[in-house]
């Protein structure tokens, strides 16, 4: 949507996952001085992040920013990632090699693990400062964290999740200017326009648009995951599922209100 609603010069070349090359990655993208300088020098107006857990300091450091996010059914999100990364061999496995069943693949994703949405939005700060992370370099002089997609989630290892965490995630999301539900994105055009001023509606971009996927049929988690494994996933992600459905309720009310 950005490229169809903003000038090309306002959008970084690659902005869904940052690095320290001026593409707005993390860190030092959490550093307000660095980020504002980069935005001003390059003329960019949007910064996006695909991986890192959101921290409360984003809201306090960038009070002038407009915050937006999109949630998807967490079970379907996991299954989509399984197909994209493992079934289609984007995870380093060779094409044509045996594919692990979903129930064996999922436990290996320890970086994100269960309660993914709570980890994203509970707001806990990182254990290390940006300076410490950038200073911890490997033998080749590259910061070690840059090879770890899930480094911001390590602080949640062995965390026992509770209702207080659920409440904190709710409070953080309520401070966002725009929260959408992926399954209802086609109904959210007016909401997007009202908050962002974007007139061009969302357009689905899929892996096969770039000749990456031969089988373009959608895969449903409910239709492909064994029932017992599905029930186990729901139990292990109960608070994340509740957060997703709570967001759906809010979005549904806002969609209904805009009709009047």
- The per-residue pLDDT for range 59-116, each reduced to its tens digit, is 998 899 999 999 999 999 999 989 988 998 888 899 889 999 998 998 887 667 789 8
The CA-atom distances, in angstroms, between 136 and each of 52, 121, 124, 197 are 18, 26, 21, 41
218 versus 96: the higher-pLDDT residue is: 96
The whole-number pLDDT of residue 218 equals: 78
The whole-number pLDDT of residue 182 equals: 93
Residue 214 has pLDDT above 70, yes or no: no
Range from 4-13, 66-75, 161-170, 202-211 carrying the lowest mean pLDDT = 202-211
Q: Domain ranges in the chain?
A: 8-206+217-257
Count of CA atoms in the C-beta half-sphere (13 A) of 171? 12
Token pair in block for residue 102: 């979903």
Beta-carbon count within 10 A of 86 CB = 19
Question: At residue 143, what are phi and psi to the nearest 5 degrees?
Answer: -55, 135
What is the rounded end-to-end Cα distance, in angstroms, of the chain? 26
Give pLDDT tens digits for 143-155.
887 767 778 888 8
Single out the residue of 130, 150, 119, 131 nearest to residue 54, CA to CA. 119
Share of the chain above pLDDT 70, in %: 86
Name the helix (H) or strand (E) containing 103.
helix 102-105
Beta-carbon count within 10 A of 117 CB = 22
Residue spans of alpha helices (H) in 106-237? 116-121, 130-135, 163-174, 189-196, 221-224, 227-236
Specify whether the CB–CB gap between 196 and 68 falls below 8 A: yes
Single out the residue of 173, 174, 178 nearest to residue 193, CA to CA. 178
Share of the chain above pLDDT 90, in %: 40
The whole-number pLDDT of residue 56 equals: 93
Token pair in block for residue 61: 């450091």
Beta-carbon count within 10 A of 139 CB = 6
Residue 240 has pLDDT above 80, yes or no: yes
Spell out the CATH class of 8-206+217-257: alpha beta
Q: What angle do CA 9, 10, 15 make, to 5 degrees?
A: 105
24 versus 53: the higher-pLDDT residue is: 53
Strands 178-181 and 68-71: parallel
- Only one residue has tokens 């070349």, namely 13
Euclidean distance between CA atoms 6 and 17, whole angstroms? 19
Confidence class for position 216, pLDDT limits 50, 70, 90: low
Euclidean distance between CA atoms 251 and 191, whole angstroms? 10
Give pLDDT tens digits for 8-52.
899 887 655 444 443 444 455 567 787 888 888 889 898 887 767
Euclidean distance between CA atoms 109 and 117, whole angstroms? 15
């Amino acid at each position: 949507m950005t490229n169809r609603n903003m000038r090309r010069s306002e959008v970084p070349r690659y902005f869904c996952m940052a690095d320290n090359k001026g593409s707005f990655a993390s860190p030092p993208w959490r550093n307000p001085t660095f980020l504002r300088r980069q935005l001003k020098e390059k003329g960019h107006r949007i910064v996006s992040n695909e991986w890192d857990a959101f921290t409360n300091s984003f809201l306090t450091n960038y009070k002038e920013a407009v915050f937006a996010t999109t949630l998807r059914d967490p079970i379907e999100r996991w299954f989509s990632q399984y197909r994209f990364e493992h079934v289609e061999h984007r995870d380093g496995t060779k094409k044509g090699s045996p594919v692990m069943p979903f129930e064996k693949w999922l436990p290996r994703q320890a970086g994100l693990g269960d309660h993914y949405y709570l980890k994203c939005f509970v707001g806990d700060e990182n254990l290390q400062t940006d300076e410490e992370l950038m200073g911890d370099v490997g033998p080749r002089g590259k910061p070690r964290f840059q090879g770890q997609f899930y480094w911001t989630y390590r602080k949640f290892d062995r965390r026992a999740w509770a209702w207080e965490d659920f409440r904190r995630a709710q409070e953080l999301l309520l401070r966002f200017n725009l929260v959408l539900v992926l399954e209802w994105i086609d109904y959210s055009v007016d909401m997007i326009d009202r908050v962002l001023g974007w007139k061009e509606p969302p357009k689905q971009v899929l892996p096969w648009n770039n000749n990456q996927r031969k089988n373009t049929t959608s895969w449903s988690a409910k239709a492909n995951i064994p029932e017992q494994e599905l029930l186990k996933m729901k139990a292990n992600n109960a608070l994340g599922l509740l957060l997703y459905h709570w967001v759906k309720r809010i979005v549904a009310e806002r969609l209904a209100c805009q009709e009047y």
